[in-house]
């Protein structure tokens, strides 16, 4: 670890990181299961409902660059704690009945999660000499949190007699629990505040080729996940499966993604310890993408579970690897926060175009072959970027200074 801690204290830090990660998707993913009731109650059009589900991804990109500034002002620990408070507050605002409150609460929650997305990996960089295993637990928890929200929002709401607003509010309570776990373990970060107050600018990192390639890799990986996840049930239904079967296959993607999300950073950390880069993991992730996308393109109703499982491993492992490369290529926690802010800003803004592009290609061609083919073509820049970002090099802190 970067700071001396006993083994028991190190375990508590990992638990706190995982609990925070569990909160970084449910408040947003939980909207999809209740979208029908939400629209019936509020009268939202399909376009506005689509904007509501896309807004968090846009927030991830727009607010990510603010995270390093918060870390410099108040310390990593306090900034993460503030993000949890804002997440709970944003979720609570959605309990109000005006439609504007629904969008405002989603905006606040999305901004809060954007900050945590950037700062928790930076915190791991500071606390652990070998960040592989902690980043694996963190990345897997992101997938588990999303799966819990997708599978439990409706059943929990029904069991407790809650409407869609109450069901979504349950995930705000989880943020309060995470705050109660985080503060005693991480503290307020007052002593570490000066350590992250170094001068410099996040966007200056893009002068370095490794930083640019890490950013492109994360963006290409994100467009794969958000693009296909948005349309997978529809794609499979058009191929002959039922909507229910398509939903089950989307759940399979999330479940296998959690496995890939744990394995990717863990193996990356081991390779780093041995003085190797992570190019073999980039190749494995892209190979899994080729198998999964190729199967969905050529035989979507034959061995469907196999194709989506392999795709899930690729997206979970690839995304987690992208986050881990940001950590491993950074010399300090502040560099990790800065590079994470830049990479996630651009990456998520690119990812937000995925569902739109795939949907437009489907409307133009009347099928999904061109849409899936586009995802296959985007593997080319992903390989190029990942191959460069996976080299065993470290960005110096001076790379970010103006």
pLDDT in tens, 321-352: 888 888 888 888 878 888 888 888 888 888 87
- Highest mean pLDDT range out of 95-99, 107-111, 122-126, 326-330? 107-111
Q: Give the separation between CA 40 and CA 245, rounded to whole angstroms.
A: 24
Contact 145, 25 (CB under 8 A): yes
Average confidence (pLDDT) over 383-390:
90
Residue 4 contacts by C-beta under 8 Å, 6 or more apart in sequence? none
- Highest mean pLDDT range out of 15-29, 179-193, 353-367? 15-29
Q: Is 376 exposed, middle or buried (0-12, 13-18, 19+ CB in 10 A)?
A: middle
Higher pLDDT residue, 102 or 29?
102
Alpha carbon separation from 201 to 245, 337, 342 (Å, rounded):
48, 11, 10
Average confidence (pLDDT) over 264-286:
85
Query: In the prediction, which pLDDT does 381 show?
Result: 94
pLDDT in tens, 277-320: 788 999 999 999 999 999 999 998 889 999 999 999 998 888 88
Architecture (CATH level 2) of domain 200-402: Up-down Bundle (1.20)
Q: Give the separation between CA 47 and CA 37, rounded to whole angstroms.
A: 16
Architecture (CATH level 2) of domain 1-197: Up-down Bundle (1.20)
Q: Give the separation between CA 61 and CA 58, rounded to whole angstroms.
A: 5
CA-nearest of 56, 50, 169, 158 to 109 is 56
Average confidence (pLDDT) over 250-260:
85
Beta partners for residue 395, in sequence order:
330
**Mean pLDDT score of the chain, rounded to an integer?**
84
Q: Give the separation between CA 51 and CA 55, rounded to whole angstroms.
A: 6
CA-nearest of 308, 317, 338 to 390 is 317
Instruction: Dig out the tokens for 17 from the structure.
Output: 């990181």
Which DSSP string corresponds to 197-219? Answer: -----SGGGGGSHHHHHHHHHHH
pLDDT in tens, 22-66: 998 888 778 877 877 888 888 887 667 777 877 888 888 888 888
- Region of poorest pLDDT, from 59-63, 97-101, 240-244, 318-322: 240-244
Query: In the prediction, which pLDDT does 399 show?
Result: 56
Query: In the prediction, which pLDDT does 402 show?
Result: 44
DSSP annotation of 330 reads B
CA-nearest of 90, 95, 138, 81 to 111 is 90
How many residues belong to the chain? 402
pTM above 0.85, yes or no: no
Contact 44, 38 (CB under 8 A): yes
Query: In the prediction, which pLDDT does 54 show?
Result: 76
Give the burial string for 2-20 (b: 16+ CB within 10 Å, else e). eeeeeeeebebbbebbbbb
Q: How remote is the C-alpha of 7 from its chain's centroid? A: 28
Residue 243 has pLDDT above 80, yes or no: no
Query: In the prediction, which pLDDT does 401 show?
Result: 54
Domain limits, CATH 1.20.1250.20, in the chain: 1-197, 200-402
Residue 77 has pLDDT above 70, yes or no: yes
Average confidence (pLDDT) over 151-174:
87
Over pLDDT 90: what percentage of the chain? 25
Residue 164 has pLDDT above 70, yes or no: yes
């Amino acid at each position: 670890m970067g700071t001396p801690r006993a083994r028991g204290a190190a375990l508590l830090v990992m638990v706190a990181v995982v609990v925070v990660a569990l909160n970084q998707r449910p408040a947003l993913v939980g909207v999809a299961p209740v979208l029908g009731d939400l629209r019936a109650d509020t009268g939202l059009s399909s376009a506005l409902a689509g904007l509501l589900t896309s807004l968090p991804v846009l927030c991830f990109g727009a607010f990510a660059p603010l995270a390093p500034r918060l870390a410099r002002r108040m310390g990593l620990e306090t900034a993460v704690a503030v993000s949890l408070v804002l997440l709970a507050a944003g979720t609570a605002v959605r309990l109000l009945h005006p439609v504007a409150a629904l969008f405002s609460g989603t905006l606040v929650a999305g901004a809060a999660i954007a900050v945590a997305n950037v700062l928790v990996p930076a915190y791991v960089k500071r606390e652990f000499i070998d960040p592989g295993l902690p980043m694996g637990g963190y990345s897997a928890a992101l997938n588990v949190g999303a799966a819990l929200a997708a599978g439990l929002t409706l059943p929990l709401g029904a069991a407790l007699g809650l409407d869609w607003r109450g069901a979504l509010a349950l995930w705000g309570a989880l943020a309060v629990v995470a705050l109660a776990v985080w503060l005693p373990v991480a503290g307020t970060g007052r002593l570490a505040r000066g350590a992250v107050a170094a001068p410099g600018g996040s966007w200056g990192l893009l002068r370095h080729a490794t930083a640019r390639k890490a950013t492109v890799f994360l963006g290409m990986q994100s467009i794969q996940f958000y693009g296909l996840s948005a349309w997978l049930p529809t794609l499979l239904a058009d191929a002959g499966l039922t909507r229910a079967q398509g939903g089950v296959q989307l759940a399979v993607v999330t479940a296998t993604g959690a496995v890939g999300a744990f394995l990717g950073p863990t193996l990356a950390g081991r390779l780093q310890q041995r003085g190797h880069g992570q190019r073999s993991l980039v190749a494995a992730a892209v190979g899994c993408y080729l198998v999964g996308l190729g199967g969905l393109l050529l035989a979507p109703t034959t061995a469907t579970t196999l194709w989506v499982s392999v795709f899930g491993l690729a997206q979970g492992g690839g995304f987690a690897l992208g986050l881990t490369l940001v950590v491993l290529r950074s010399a300090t926690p502040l560099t990790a926060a800065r590079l994470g802010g830049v990479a996630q800003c651009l990456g998520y803004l690119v990812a937000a175009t995925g569902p739109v592009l795939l949907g437009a290609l489907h409307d133009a061609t009347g099928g999904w072959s061109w849409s899936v083919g586009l995802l296959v073509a985007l593997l080319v820049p992903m390989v190029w970027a990942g191959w460069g970002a996976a080299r065993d090099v470290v960005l110096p802190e001076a790379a970010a200074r103006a």
